[in-house]
């Protein structure tokens, strides 16, 4: 008997939403979910391990991978390049695992075009204030980088309507339940479009209010 059909699960969110935390929780619950390790030109953060968190590569090597057709998708995000190797999809497909891609909205658009069975999910923060607080609490970015990420968040959140599913990461366990439902082929989490648009407008207004009170951006 052949293995059940799996699919790549694409998660996108504005930086700081809690996507990595949520992905780890899903992985804890479902060992058949495997993280897609991207290639990036970003320098490693403290504690990050090459080959586990990312393949940390030079700009030359990143360019070579694109030229050789090794990437499903790639994008420039916050001033660095990131891309997903095709190899990740091939290997997990062969093993009957779900590949979890933690990629930005530009990457999600490319995957949508190339891997039609992929299921894409946009994760929203419960509020603009929560998003700013989570970004600050993580404490991995300098203040000017933080402000840039928050500014970018407005544009990223505007893309939520393109995604098949939208999940609010308010309470981690609840949001993880929704992701688990998607793996079981249940759960139409898409909010009615007018409600989603109102939600997006509210979040963007809250982020702008926060940026208005934040230190001037030099990034
Ligand atoms: P992302 O990967 O989206 O950039 P992270 O997973 O690094 O975000 O989370 C950013 C911060 O928010 C972390 O400090 C994390 O512990 C916290 N966080 C994540 N999910 C939640 C949640 N549901 N409630 C409260 N805090 C959260
Ligand atoms: P970070 O620098 O915080 O690890 O990631 C920054 C952003 O890059 C996140 O939004 C993350 O989803 C995105 N990202 C990580 N890997 C990839 C990738 O392979 N492709 C694309 N398009 N985006 C990625």
Which residue among 10, 38, 62, 111 is best mutated to probe the pocket of ligand 2, counting the most ligand atoms within 8 A of its Cβ? 38
| C-beta of residue 20 within 8 angstroms of C-beta of residue 11 | no
* Ligand nearest to the backbone CA of 77: 2
Please report the pLDDT score of residue 123 as a whole number: 96
Measured distance CA(7)–CA(50) in Å, rounded: 26
Using alpha carbons, list the distances in angstroms from residue 85 to 75, 194, 204: 12, 36, 32
pLDDT in tens, the chain (219 residues): 455 589 999 999 998 999 999 999 999 999 999 999 999 999 999 999 999 999 999 999 999 999 999 999 999 988 899 999 999 999 999 999 999 999 999 999 999 999 999 999 999 999 999 999 998 887 777 788 888 888 889 889 999 999 999 999 999 999 999 999 999 988 655 666 668 899 999 999 999 998 887 555 443
Element (H, E) at 130: helix 128-138
Please tell me the pTM assigned to this model.
0.90
Measured distance CA(216)–CA(73) in Å, rounded: 33
Please report the pLDDT score of residue 78 as a whole number: 81
Q: For residue 118, how many other CB atoms are within 10 A of its CB?
A: 19
- Going from the Cα of 1 to the center of ligand 2, the distance in angstroms, rounded, reads 37
For the Cβ of 78 lying below 6 angstroms from any atom of ligand 1, the answer is no
For the Cβ of 178 lying below 6 angstroms from any atom of ligand 2, the answer is no
Atom of ligand 1 nearest to the CA of 15: 4
For the Cβ of 12 lying below 6 angstroms from any atom of ligand 1, the answer is no
Which tokens go with 214? 């934040």
């Amino acid at each position: 008997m052949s293995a059940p059909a799996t699919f790549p699960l694409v998660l996108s969110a504005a930086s700081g939403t809690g996507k990595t935390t949520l992905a780890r929780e899903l992985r804890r619950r479902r060992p058949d979910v495997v993280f897609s390790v991207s290639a990036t030109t970003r320098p490693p953060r403290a504690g990050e391990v090459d080959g586990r968190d990312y393949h940390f590569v030079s700009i030359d090597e990143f360019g070579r991978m694109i030229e050789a057709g090794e990437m499903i998708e790639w994008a420039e995000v916050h001033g660095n390049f990131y891309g997903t190797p095709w190899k990740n999809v091939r290997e997990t497909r062969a093993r009957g695992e779900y590949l979890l891609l933690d990629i930005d909205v530009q990457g999600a658009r490319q995957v949508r075009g190339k891997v039609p069975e992929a299921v894409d999910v946009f994760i929203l923060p419960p509020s603009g204030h929560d998003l700013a607080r989570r970004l600050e609490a993580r404490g991995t970015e300098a203040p000017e980088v933080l402000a840039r990420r928050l500014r970018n968040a407005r544009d990223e959140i505007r893309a939520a309507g393109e995604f098949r599913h939208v999940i609010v990461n308010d309470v981690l366990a609840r949001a993880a339940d929704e992701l688990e439902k998607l793996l079981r082929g249940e759960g139409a989490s898409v909010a009615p479009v007018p409600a989603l648009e109102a939600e997006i407008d509210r979040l963007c207004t809250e982020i702008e209010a926060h940026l208005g009170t934040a230190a001037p951006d030099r990034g």
